Structure 1
């Protein structure tokens, strides 16, 4: 089966998972291309009317990912792994349960990012205990990935220390390097009154702007959204728990009502195609469940 065949199966089959694939269109011709899966905002531990099936959605996603005809080379979770709680013991319990569930994913690597539900109440202490650093970078087949933490600071800032780290990390990259930034909150002011912004995000963007091939994947807003900052594209992932309204479309941010006739409404997955050797990502969105 070649990559085109895999795309056809993906479009026909759907699945309860949110994924971003990064791979070359010439994959079948032997180029060193790849794709990865992105899941976001699973909010393990949530209980409420916005998703009465919250205790099974994450497990459905694990099953769906393991059913993909081509195994992803790695998976990224872009934050809000768990739902917020004031109880430190409960926070760790939820993270432990989440970790046990996603351990069933049949992949070699999983990269985790915190969301504000995971990290803002203890500055990321529990997250670091169970998942490791809240910001880091790694390389995969010619693409440099940067995971930024804009949630551990309760003020929604990246912070001077991490910005200095980002500057140093970028200084080791060529100006035309292929760079993918992973984060939870958007790095631009999407809807600041809804907490859909990063207060010092413009400083991170200023550091990224000199690099010609940068793409940002994030979560937090529980819906597909695409934004352009100059030559830098930002793409948000849908949630694994419930959808949220369009940015600024109403006075208060609140989950969209649960529809028992269409439990997957507002949930979905995506694939992102890239030409081999270039930073040109083509995104295709699919519904999470069959109608």
Structure 2
């Protein structure tokens, strides 16, 4: 790892600026010890509760900082465009609403109806386009070319990643000492940001990514030494829908992430139920991947007696909730 490489990818000054700004608009989320999950998994398990954010997801961090930075553009009142399977779109809709702007969110067919409905409540204009995130992104990008509007990318944007990095800076302040941090991986904005935030704060915590089996774009990329795109896939973890990382998120992960593991669909469902039984809180499948990893792998793969699992969101479709945890 070189300081110059990291500074070129995501300057420490940007991480610090994001932390300073977000402290004025969001409260730090708690990192709490879970007796029930610790007993179940045979380790000290701590949960970082991002699902208590205003949009019930960590994505609001990056969205708020990115939209704040865009306010310095030529037309700070112009509409914003993004593509999302749900939580990023919610974050952009929330940030646009606070800034008096309109968000145009392109979502794929079959997007989580609870998340789409919440975007509409915040005044977002919804455009259903394509069968997955990649196709929705292509439609949104074309719209920006036609209109000249600003696109807010869900992970390939230094401001978005800097916003997510504030989870890492918070953990450096109040997380358990010597813990390994487990983070879900989609396009890589979360794990890249958290890892960079920890590094800027001077923490030497290990960080491990978790992907759904069959959607292991970051694991394959790290093995290949380049960004690898996976074919279209289906997973219960709809928040991890990108087919590939970006050069930015892959570059940070290559420098800072210790390893990436995969978990199966059944393990994710079981983890959602275990978290509900232990904490009486509902988490998205994306969040549950971290607990699924602890249930799947022993210390030879995931070493450490102390772990922090990022509970990234709580916007669960009611039908899925009934199916997984019962009525």
Assess same fold via TM > 0.5.
no
Considering fraction of residues, name the structure with more strand. 1
TM-score, with structure 1 as normaliser:
0.31
Considering fraction of residues, name the structure with more helix. 2
TM-score, with structure 2 as normaliser:
0.29
